[in-house]
Structure 1
Amino acid sequence: MSDTAAAIRSRPRQVCVLGSAEPGSQAYELAAAAGELLATLGITVVSGCGSPATRVAAERALGAGGTVVSIVPSDDIGLEDWPCSVLIPCGMGDARNLLMALAGDACLVIGGRAGTISEVCLAWLHHRPLLPLTGCGGWSDQLERNPPDERGNSPILPWGSVEELRTRLLELGFVEV
């Protein structure tokens, strides 16, 4: 195996956290727990931190010693209050949704609004596994029953608890037994 191939294999998995949920909701609490879980498993969290749910996932991942990459829509490298290890200001506004969809080996979907739907559709088009939170309302609740289209581009692996999320990550081969 070449040194390059070995380096690629040893790259930590990356999971994008997409969606929205308000503080105090069950989805918000599960977003926080998911961020912490990803960090403890050595998975890099990719987040735009634009919603309370994605921000708390990033904060909890950092608090657990994890790495967080944040891709923000603005061109401002001087963002002081952004919870991240690496800040990528893309200056592309909503077009950064493609970067979010592509930056993960899989995408965690929590609740969500129109921006989340666009990220999910882009992830689907580019064959990224989708991990929608179910049982908490929002758009992610419908994803398994109503995928972006009929092609079956990627697996849709729903979860409703941190234990189920761990199982899904194991199924994807992101976690060693």
Structure 2
Amino acid sequence: MSPRRPQVCVLGSAEPGSPAFELAAAAGTLLARLGITVVSGCGSPATRVAAESALAAGGEVVSIIPSDDIKTENWPCTVLIPCGMGDARNLLMALAGDACIVIGGRAGTISEVCLAWLHRRPLLPLTGCGGWSDQLEQNPPDERKNSPILPWSSVEMLQARLKELGLV
């Protein structure tokens, strides 16, 4: 039996056409090419494009959705987990990855990031594109230093961070 593949959650939000959106797509492709399973809720354009890009590159995508509908159609994933928990799904998202990529973000993303921090998941915030993820390294959830915060601003830097964490 082969070992479990590394899993990385993609959290956050960014609008189509923005640099953060384009980097979310590139991150999905990179994760797939590295053999890392993408975990996404696909609730924002950025997390959805990361999942779609990972699938297009031949990768595996697990999507954890807030509803309880297993028959949800047009969802980019190889595995669909309808949790029926609404926003409480954020804990599942925080726990489902060996690390969490953070792109931009709004209140839901902040919730996921704080939960990931509490459970010692490394955080990989996109920087240089605006949004909440730009602030994460200088303004972590609290003073405890629970997990590393490893910023990235290019796909090459993201790959180096994944190597640093031993996921590649």
Question: What TM bracket, shorter-length normalisation?
Answer: over 0.9
Q: Distance in 2 between matches of 1:98 and 1:11?
A: 21
Cα drift, residue 95 of structure 1: 0.2
Q: Deviations over 1:96-116 (max 9, x none)?
A: 000000000000000000000
Partner of 1:150: 143
Q: Which residue, out of 79, 86, 89, partners 1:96?
A: 89
Q: Does 2:45 align with 1:60?
A: no
**AA of the residue aligned to 2:129:** C
Q: Distance in 2 between matches of 1:81 and 1:137?
A: 29
Which aligned pairs between 1:1-177 and structure 2 lie closer than 5 A?
10-175=3-168
Cα drift, residue 80 of structure 1: 1.0
Cα drift, residue 48 of structure 1: 0.2
Q: Distance in 2 between matches of 1:49 and 1:114?
A: 15
TM-score (norm 1): 0.94
If you compute each CA radius of gyration, which structure gives the higher value, 1 or 2?
1
Q: Distance in 2 between matches of 1:32 and 1:65?
A: 14
* Gap regions ≥5 residues in structure 1: 1-5
TM-score (norm 2): 0.99
**AA of the residue aligned to 1:108:** I
The percentage of counterpart residues that share the same residue type is 84
Q: Distance in 2 between matches of 1:97 and 1:61?
A: 21
Residue 75 of structure 1 aligns to a residue in which SS? coil
Q: Deviations over 1:105-128 (max 9, x none)?
A: 000000000000000000000000
Q: Distance in 1 between matches of 2:81 and 2:23?
A: 25
Q: Deviations over 1:113-166 (max 9, x none)?
A: 000000000000000000000000000000000000000000000000000000
Q: Distance in 2 between matches of 1:40 and 1:169?
A: 13
Residue 54 of structure 1 aligns to a residue in which SS? helix
